Structure 1
Amino acid sequence: GLLEALGARLLDDAGRPVGDGGAALTRVASIDLTALRERMDGVEVIVACDVDNPLTGPLGAAAVYGPQKGADPAQVAELDAALGQWAGRLAAELGSDRRAAAGAGAAGGVGFAALAVLGATLRPGIELMLELVGFDERLAGVDLVITGEGKLDEQTLHGKAPAGVAAAARAAGVPVVAVCGRNTLPPERSRAAGFAAVYSLIEIEPDEQRCLSAGLMLLQQLGVRVADDYLPAVAATVSEQSGGEA
């Protein structure tokens, strides 16, 4: 879809467009990149990418993200095979195969298309965003960083925002806590990632539907817990630094 929007033509044996969808990639017999190359001539492409998955295989786009979007095992296998054929066809056309590159599996294979055809540079999305907002400069004088997402799990550690925030803050010597809806990371994994603590809605409300309907109230309760756990330490530090006048 990305490449076609930029002018590429993906054609079947009869010279007709193969159509939309991942399974249609099995019908690609030829690729016409003429219009795309003319349109993108002189353009530098930088892609913000928050995952490091390859295009295909057990950690690829279909296997990891297909089930999240409703694909059953048979559909995952079909999509993975189609992406493999697509990668092979492009490799034959361009002379290099980027299917195994970190981030190639992002957004259903958009990362692969950007790398293989557009010559893009993939940068960790959170790294780019932290740079744009001047995160390192904003850490000056900060006592605690709070970050979070809906679910803290193993995917979080593969380039997602909370892990990037934790890494940057830890490098600056600032403690980081995460707030989330659900946490499936073992304590040793979250500590290794740089989180001093993790607070989840499920801890205080086991009913997931209530977590969704009463999220604001529950987040306020977690905020009180964070304050109880960290503000006394922060206040003590400030008092000590100011000679007991805080």
Structure 2
Amino acid sequence: MNRRNFLTCVVLAPTFSTALMVEDSNVYLSPDEFTTISTLNSRLKRLKRFVGFANFNLISYNQALYYGRNYQKIGAFTKKEIAMMERLFDENPNDYGFFGKRTCMNIDNRVSRKDVKKIPHTGHYLYKGKAEQDYKKIISDVGDSIILTSGVRNVVKQMSLYVNKIYNCGGNMSKATISIAPPAYSYHTISDFDVGRKGWGYKNFTSDFALTSEFEQMTKLDYIGMRYTMNNRDGVRFEPWHVEVI
């Protein structure tokens, strides 16, 4: 992994869809669509509380719908919410300035528990094989101050992060996709994982992590990569915490 110039700005070159509102060079959802995002965001949070943080990383789309239909604490997903989830999964996000590769073709993608390993004291899973081996080697080479902050994310988990980001951005799709990959485009679904410094909390998901001794040591490791470098072609913000499994 090569160390990058941290002061370089990320350049976005979005094109815009006439089906959406365009303001200040950003693409926004319509008010009606944002209302759907709001109710969907709340329902996905109720689902996460119901199934548990760790399990939420793995459940499938149809399992999510099942839980909604059968448990009042969650409530059934509405037709508009289902249509929104399917749209966010199926659509081409180039209009928002995101140019990454699709990593998942099936909205009901299944993650077998036989294929993953739960990492103690993290609430996260890693795929067995290269990802798990890389994480263990990072701990060995960098030190036990490193901790897994996000591992396997099936479609529902990635959907929830994306929907929450859209909500927090006030329906600004361009801004949301800089930070969170759309649900069909996350490498967490197939391989990658995030790491951070123990005790740092949210700072692990900021550019401050690039200034740590842990990150400096990670840049010298030849068995991993950095997925989202400065000015990456995918249009994603700089993510020094995101480990590319190579």
Q: State the TM-score, normalized to the length of structure 2.
A: 0.26
Larger radius of gyration: 1
If the length of structure 1 is used for normalisation, what is the TM-score?
A: 0.26
Greater share of helix residues, 1 or 2?
1
Higher relative contact order (CA 8 A, sep 6+): 2
